[in-house]
Amino acid sequence: MNNSLDKVQAALADYITEDGNRFSVTETKNDTFTMLTIIRDDIEEFAILATASDSQLLFNVALFDKAQIIAGQSPALHTMMLELNMAMPLSSFALTGANYSIFGAMSTESDASQIQEEILVLSENIMDALEVCQHFLIKA
Amino acid sequence: MGFLNNVFNTIKGYGNEANDAFVDTQGIRIMEQEIREAEAHQRKANESLTDVMAEQKGIARKVNDLKASVQEYAEAIGKLLDAGNETLAMETAEKLAELETNLDSNQAILDSYNEQVKELKAIIKDSAKQMAALRREVSIIKSTEAAQQASAATAAQFSGSNSSLRSASASMARIKAKQQKRKDKMKSARELAKEATGGDLNDKLAAAGVIGNQSSASSILDRYKKTN
């Protein structure tokens, strides 16, 4: 399982996007799971969390929690998320516990360039996803 | 029950209860037990298949031998009748009747073995499919669990430093401002580089029509016209 995460770390080590962005990767291990925290240098506040099972790699970005949704707007937000799921390249919306996120999943057999593309597209989807969701969120 | 239904029932965390276990460990235990049972079932079916196929082969051999004997005695009866030896023909016919009864009962046993082999092979194929499906479910649930635990770990980090999870809209505004600043910086750097190479002044002179951007056939022709 960790071999797959090692592959992610290796793929991002010297990777620089066309816009000059880099990704920093930190590994966290405990008794039950291992994860990578991947941070794109211009979107530091939304970390991509990578975990792996025997067959797939999951990349998840927590966007906001239920408490940030304007009262009564959850159903409309959910409908919008479902409608946009298909249009969002390589990523999908998800709800885990009280946290809304976008995630991408790929086979552990994926190679370095596929991993780089997945992470790049997911990181680019973060701001786009927040942009459409902000209409349903309490303003800071 | 369908695959997604099983997963849905096993994964918790669809509510707000932060203290709940993420995944119903009892559910995973049940699925792992089902895999073990399917494996045991398949092992047993494999053993039975080996036994039944051995028996099947033995009976098939016996049936073939009996068929050959029946054929042999039937031909002998014909020959004995042709030769007018009715007494021996009758004795042979009695033996043939005994052989045919024996053949019928063995053929029935062989048919039942053939049926059993078919059924056991189907059971083995089904258990293999069932095991693959269950293994896939457990793998998906475990990876979802890992992702949920990872999210929770990060949420805990944020809630440790702030009063609650950071506000998404505030973060977005900060990131946008930062990205804009970065873009502006890059633009300025490009402009500075252009000035350093004189590109900026040349652009202005070209725009004012004082200098040409490039030599062209018409500008060369103009130059000749002026000198002549």
- Cite the DSSP H helix spans in B83-216: 86-161, 168-196, 199-207
B136 & B206 share domain = no
What is the four-CA torsion angle of A60, A66, A71, A76, rounded to 10 degrees?
30
Q: In the numeric block, which tokens belong to residue A9? A: 């770390």
Q: What is the pLDDT of residues A42-99, one digit of tens each?
A: 898 899 999 988 888 999 998 998 999 999 999 999 999 999 999 899 999 998 878 8
Look at residue B51 and tell me if it is in a domain: yes
Per-residue pLDDT at B14: 44
Domains of chain A by range and CATH? 2-136 (3.30.1460.10)
pLDDT band at A30 (very low <50, low <70, confident <90, very high): confident
B34 & B143 share domain = yes
B76 & B188 share domain = no
Rounded to 5 degrees, what angle do the CA atoms B154, B156, B160 make?
120
Look at B75 and B168; give whichever has higher pLDDT: B75
B147 & B193 share domain = no
Look at residue B108 and tell me if it is in a domain: yes
Which residues of A are less than 8 Å from B147 in CB distance?
Answer: 49, 51, 58, 60, 96, 103
Domain end, chosen from B127, B162, B197, is at B162
B117 & B198 share domain = no
Write down the mean pLDDT value for chain A: 91
B121 & B150 share domain = yes
Q: How far apart are CA B80 and CA B84, in angstroms?
A: 6
Max distance between CA atoms of chain B, in angstroms, equals 144
Q: How far apart are CA B174 and CA B172, in angstroms?
A: 5
Is B139 near chain A, with CB under 8 Å? yes
Is 0.90 exceeded by the ipTM?
no
B139 & B189 share domain = no
Q: Domain residues for B223? A: 182-227
Look at B59 and B21; give whichever has higher pLDDT: B59
Per-residue pLDDT at B205: 72
Mutate to test the interface with B, among A33, A93, A106 (most CBs of B within 10 A): A33
pLDDT band at B163 (very low <50, low <70, confident <90, very high): very low
B152 & B110 share domain = yes
Q: What is the pLDDT of residues B170-187, one digit of tens each?
A: 888 888 888 788 778 878
Question: Which of A32-46, A65-79, B71-85 is predicted with the least confidence, judged by mean pLDDT?
Answer: A32-46
pLDDT band at B74 (very low <50, low <70, confident <90, very high): very high
Q: How far apart are CA B103 and CA B110, in angstroms?
A: 10
Closest CA to A13 of A86, A87, A112, A105: A112
Q: How far apart are CA B148 and CA B152, in angstroms?
A: 6
Write down the mean pLDDT value for chain B: 79
Flag whether pLDDT at A40 surpasses 80. yes
Return the residue matching tokens 């060369």.
B220
Look at residue B148 and tell me if it is in a domain: yes
Q: How far apart are CA B76 and CA A105, in angstroms?
A: 77
Question: Which of B5-14, B117-126, B164-173 is predicted with the least confidence, judged by mean pLDDT?
Answer: B5-14
Quick one: CA dihedral A78, A80, A82, A84, positive or negative? negative
B152 & B187 share domain = no
B12 & B72 share domain = yes
| Partner-chain contact B140 A98, CB within 8 Å | no
| φ, ψ dihedrals at B132, nearest 5° | -65, -40
CATH number for the domain harbouring residue B73: 1.10.287
Domain end, chosen from B108, B132, B162, is at B162
Flag whether pLDDT at B134 surpasses 80. yes
Mutate to test the interface with B, among A28, A53, A77, A127 (most CBs of B within 10 A): A53
Look at residue B171 and tell me if it is in a domain: no
| Partner-chain contact B168 A43, CB within 8 Å | no
Percent of chain B with pLDDT strictly greater than 90: 31
B107 & B187 share domain = no
Look at residue B173 and tell me if it is in a domain: no
Q: What is the pLDDT of residues B203-220, one digit of tens each?
A: 777 777 766 655 566 666
Max distance between CA atoms of chain A, in angstroms, equals 45
> Any idea what DSSP says for residue B198?
T
Structurally, how many domains does chain B consist of?
Answer: 2
Look at residue B170 and tell me if it is in a domain: no
B204 & B99 share domain = no
Flag whether pLDDT at B46 surpasses 70. yes
Per-residue pLDDT at B177: 84
Look at residue B169 and tell me if it is in a domain: no
How many Cα atoms occupy the beta-carbon half-sphere of A98 within 13 Å? 16
| Partner-chain contact B151 A28, CB within 8 Å | no
Look at residue B84 and tell me if it is in a domain: yes
